[in-house]
Structure 1
């Protein structure tokens, strides 16, 4: 009886492996066929993959709106005046920093280390940021950025 049980279990296992292999093979062939078809359309548009994150660098919505008013008046920010420093706001900030504060990076709307380093230099010159200039945003940078935002209120 024990031998018969082992034989049945072994036969069932072999049958399961064979059925699983055949099912996997048919799926593999179908996937290969679909992947082989050429496509001429992109998977997503450039707008769909552009950065959309908001980074106010510690500013309130009202303070960020003040900065946006100044950017709109001086650096080609297209709007809206919503108090959310998103991609278009940061592009305008980068244009300003590139023109006047040595920002060497791309105008991509992403506030990275290079953007922050140039912004910190600007804030040190006019709004009391004491350093360091390592491109790392901290509480002292936020205080200086808030001073700048208060000055920008005259643009709104």
Structure 2
């Protein structure tokens, strides 16, 4: 018998059916998997922390999505605009504004976190524990939602 069965639906069955994606943050996103679905990448933030980031990018960088605590494509497009255009950004984002949280986005975020939020790791494009902790510090410096 499969583990993690709730309401007659197993995690394995959802994955096989293409209905479950698990983001880097560990947040499970249920929906149609594939190009049309939006991945949620909270980089270790809880929903309250992600809401603080969304509220901040709403006012500053053209975020026009819901303040729901789920950092999806719209949230990350606004974050990429911020990382590309903020005058004091130590390593500006140079990729497409596509909302994909890839190595270029992470390196630029790490550079900002290093300068302003106590990140001490390498600018390696990997969102490890140090990156996530510094991102949490940045989120909780923002006003509550």
Please say whether Structure 1 and Structure 2 have the same fold, judged by a TM-score greater than 0.5.
Answer: yes
Note if 1:149 corresponds to 2:135. Answer: no
SS of corresponding position for 1:104: coil
Identify which of structures 1 and 2 has the higher relative contact order when contacts are C-alpha pairs closer than 8 Å and 6+ apart. 1
Gaps of 5+ in 1: 1-47
- Say which one has the larger Rg: 1
- C-alpha contact 1:127 1:144 (8 A) present in aligned 2: yes
Gaps of 5+ in 2: 1-33
- C-alpha contact 1:52 1:86 (8 A) present in aligned 2: yes
Alignment of 1:37-76 (within 5 A): 49-76=35-62
1:59-115 Cα distance to aligned partner (Å, 9 max, x none): 001100000000001000002000000000000000000112310000000010000
Note if 1:79 corresponds to 2:65. Answer: yes
Q: How many residues align?
A: 108
The answer to which structure has the higher strand fraction is 2
> 1:66 & 1:132 partners in 2: Cα distance?
26
- C-alpha contact 1:51 1:110 (8 A) present in aligned 2: no
> 2:70 & 2:123 partners in 1: Cα distance?
25
How far the C-alpha of 1:138 sits from its partner, in A, is 0.5
> 2:111 & 2:101 partners in 1: Cα distance?
14
RMSD, aligned CA: 1.4
Runs of at least 4 residues off by over 6 Å: none
The answer to which structure has the higher helix fraction is 1
In structure 2, the partner of 1:35 is none
- TM-score, normalisation: structure 2: 0.71
SS of corresponding position for 1:153: coil
How far the C-alpha of 1:152 sits from its partner, in A, is 1.5
